[in-house]
Amino acid sequence: MKWYFYDFPLCFLLLLSNCLLLQAQTDSLKQPSEAVLMDELLNLMGKQNTQSLADILQADVITTSRTNVQKNSKAPATIYIITAEQIRQRNYLSLADVLQDLPDVKIENAVDPRWMNDVTLRGIHRMDRFIILLDGVRISSPTNDVIPVIENYPVNFAKQVEVVFGPASALYGADAFSGVINIISQDAQSPNRTHINLQGGMYETVTGGVATTKKFTKDIYLSFGGQYHYDALTNLSRWYPQDFKGMKEALQTNQFNTVFGTFGSTEPVHPSDKLTPLSAYALHAKLQVKKLSISFFRNGSISPSTYAGNPNNVVYNQGSLFGHNVSTLSAVYNQTWGRWQSTTFLIGSRYDLNPNSVFRNVYTGLNKAYLFSYGRMWKFEQLFSYNLSSKIDLSAGITYEDFFSIPRGHDLQYPTNRREARGIIIGSRSPLRPEGIEADIPKIPYGNVGGFAQLLYKPTEKISFTTGSRFDYNTRYGSTFNPRLGIVWEVNKKTTLKTLYGSAFLAPSPLMAYDQFGTFFTLDNGATYQSAFFRLPNPNLKPQTVQTFELGISSFLNNNIGFSVNAYYSLLEGLFAYASDALTTQLYDGTYKGFPVGFIEVTINQGRQRNFGGTVQVDYLSKIGSKGRVTGFFALSYVEGNVIDTQNGKKITQQASAITPLMFRWVTDVHVGKWTLSPRLQIVSKQRTFTLRQPQDPNEIPTQRQTIKGYTLLNLSVNYHLRKDLTFFIIGKNLFDVRYYNVNLGASPESTLTGAAAQAELAAGAPQNPIRILGGVNITF
């Protein structure tokens, strides 16, 4: 049975009704008393005044070891923990909301027509450079297609979220390049509860979510729920008129002043400038029977494929969209024999690009061009851990993965699907060739085997050494080896020092290695064809690698104030870069499909990048009266980077792109009586774009990146707990109503930039939403 995005509202209503029926059932497990419910509400509101700051910050984590729970302070990594309490009091809806408030993280919204946003961790950008897990199981694309991180990754069902910075391929294999994000769901120890979240507000924004947990017996536990999000989007031309000048006239007349001249689409153009709404959904379920856990997660999103485009080069109205869906089914079995512990994973995962995904821009002749992609993975993994003594823990694992991918490629004349998987290159039909030119749609099966081993040695109670490595062999790109080392020294009860080394590799995903697009044109009605440009596959692309050295110190001045300093240096090698096929791979000899092409571009491994930086953070806790309290942190992050490459036999060093050198965050939670308030302030310095600033001397090689202005944002959540089971809230986003921009691929405000490609996107960056107010209700029973 096919299941598409538009089936979800009905499924969501059925799921909600099932939750209500389930909670209405009576069995041998009685509901907790009202007193117990009130105690839990008080805990949620932060009135556990016996809890110190150390208790809050040194929670248990598992992502850094995979097999054993560790205190955050003893884990060999820099890791942030976001609890269920913080998620609810700050009214986080999605993983993007969580990341937005973390140091060393920057989220760029509305910056790319293909995947909507971009996430940067410590100056390393793109979502395919970190992996997202649910209870240790990957739920990001199995073949590492880039997909948005918005409400398609909800956190309403999370027990906590663990965000690990730095390379982690020694444990997780491919793509754990800049970090790992693990959403930990509620488990069999969680009380029977159903949480319903409903909110709405400006620009027809509506979100509904439900999460329920039910323990039938001591051996059978079930949790499930879902979330649906809809955003009609504000018309940004109202708030940024200069950036969208001439857009309405172009839509009404079908005459666009493009970078390639003035022309119109041969297909009808609707005069409305209302965009395709942004929407997302997710479903999750987990059944635990004794030591066996079976989980299902499916998410999806639809976003406009007009983001960041110059309105002279893009048809800015409905019908242009990009849609992504990921489904993951997993079975995990845990067994313990004395000092031995075993965990077995069986995982199936699938990625689908919505077959109705459409570009409509200057590169498609302003006509509709359809996209298609599919990816599938089957995985078996076996982990073992052995507690040799009070000083030594051993762990190891083996992995087998089977993949199949149809990577996204040419812009197609018509939609296609996984079974058909064929199409015509857009614009290639002609009187003598009405059938057009068939697009190459490669079908790529491949496999991966891997294994890792890790040793945790604690010579004393205060010092621990973690060392390990992982080897992988992939049938597409060969073998990789990734070691790690961590030393954690508890100097005294208040101060901890961490020295870390980690390595990772970013697999050349089918999307990256087989990326292809371009168009043909004919001057003789189709007797012959030619092209000015094509990007074509390079199946020989190799992985990127990264090595990171890190030093961190954390200390508590007292029970209410703590500080931490983390510094890191990362070396990235084998960067993915676009280059001339004629000057590098020489795969195509200046032709494609037997027709001449003026310039053929391929993706290659070229150059290396150095990133370095750090974060200074102060955490605090203060009591208000006998029951209230304030918790939060201040953090200042710094990052710098440069790319070292060779051009014309000369070594050059250029500033790294997509870096924001300085970011300041203040996040706090105030609990007073029945009220909780959570203001979050973010101050961002100048943002470095992808475009090089042209020097005054035309013979000088450019080394500096262009920049766009920084900004200051204030977000606020206010909750009023009317009763133990009912909370009303208001959310304010961008309360200063700032007109600001994020970095898109063509953000280039400097007049020195030349070339058509530089003008294809909005020059000042991607404009962002003005102030937005939302309200809603949380119901718990």
| Residue 47, pLDDT above cutoff 60 | no
| Pairwise CA distance, residues 506 & 503, whole Å | 10
- CB distance 313 to 258 below 8 Å: yes
Which token pair is 541? 């692309």
Is the pLDDT confidence value at 536 over 50?
yes
**589-638 residue pLDDT tens:** 999 999 999 999 999 999 999 999 999 999 999 998 878 899 999 999 99
pLDDT band, very low/low/confident/very high, at 770 (cuts 50, 70, 90): very high
For the ranges 179-193, 361-375, 646-660, 661-675, the one whose mean pLDDT is highest: 661-675
Residue 243 to residues 102, 239, 250, 693, Cα–Cα distance (Å)? 31, 9, 14, 21
The fraction of the chain above a pLDDT of 70, given in percent, is: 92
**How many CB atoms sit inside 10 A of residue 266's CB?**
10
What is the mean pLDDT of the segment spanning 87-100? 95
Alpha-carbon gap, residue 189 to 184, rounded angstroms = 13
Task: Say what the pLDDT of residue 61 is.
Answer: 92
What contacts 69, CB < 8 A, 6 or more positions away?
Answer: 60, 61, 62
Map 166-178 to HEC letters: CCCHHHHCCCCCC
Mean pLDDT throughout 400-412? 95
pLDDT band at 42 (very low <50, low <70, confident <90, very high): very low
Burial class (CB in 10 A: 0-12, 13-18, 19+), 551: middle
Residue 506 and residue 605: Cα distance in Å, rounded?
12
**Which pLDDT score, from 0 to 100, does residue 752 have?**
39
Question: 298 pLDDT exceeds 50?
Answer: yes
Helix (H) or strand (E) holding 97: helix 95-100
Least confident of 253-262, 455-464, 489-498, 537-546: 253-262
Query: Mean pLDDT lowest for which of 171-175, 367-371, 447-451, 758-762?
Result: 758-762
| pLDDT tens, position by position, 323-340 | 999 999 999 999 999 999
Percent of the chain with pLDDT over 90: 78
Q: What is the pLDDT of residue 152?
A: 95
pLDDT score of 576 more than 80: yes
Confidence of residue 260 (pLDDT cuts 50, 70, 90): confident
**What mean pLDDT comes out for the span 16-30?**
37
Q: What angle do CA 425, 2, 447 make, to 5 degrees?
A: 70
Rounded to the nearest 5°, which phi and psi values hold at 390?
A: -65, -15
Q: Would you state the structure tokens that stand for residue 341, as one six-digit string?
A: 């512990």
- CA distance from start to end of the chain: 34
Helix count and strand count (H, E) for the chain: 9, 46
Q: How confident is the model at residue 747 (pLDDT cuts 50, 70, 90)?
A: low
CA dihedral sign, ordered 20, 25, 30, 35: positive
Mean pLDDT of the chain: 89
Q: How far apart (Å, rounded) are the C-alpha atoms in residues 101 and 63?
A: 20
C-alpha R_g of the chain: 26
Looking at residue 647, its pLDDT comes to 73
Q: CB neighbours of 730 closer than 8 A, spacing ≥ 6?
A: 717, 718, 773, 774, 775
Q: Which residues contact 659 (CB under 8 A, 6 or more apart)?
A: 120, 123, 611, 639, 640, 641, 688, 705
| Average pLDDT rounded to a whole number, residues 544-564 | 95
**Interval 9-31 mean pLDDT:** 37
Q: pLDDT band for 749, please (50, 70, 90 cuts).
A: low
Check pLDDT > 90 for residue 424: yes
Residue 324 is encoded by which pair of tokens?
């992504």
Band of the pLDDT at 746, cuts 50, 70, 90? low
| pLDDT above 70 for 17 | no
Three-class SS string for 412-436?
A: ECCCCCCCCCCCEECCCCCCCCCCC
Region 308-333: mean pLDDT is: 93
Query: What pLDDT is stored for residue 37 in this prediction?
Result: 38
CA distance linking residue 19 with residue 21, whole number of Å? 5
* Residue 421 pLDDT: 84
**Residue 189: per-residue pLDDT:** 80
Handedness of CA 729, 713, 80, 506 (dihedral sign): positive
Q: Is the pLDDT of residue 159 over 90?
A: yes
Confidence band (pLDDT; 50, 70, 90) for 759? low
Check pLDDT > 60 for residue 733: yes
Place of tokens 């949790």: 223
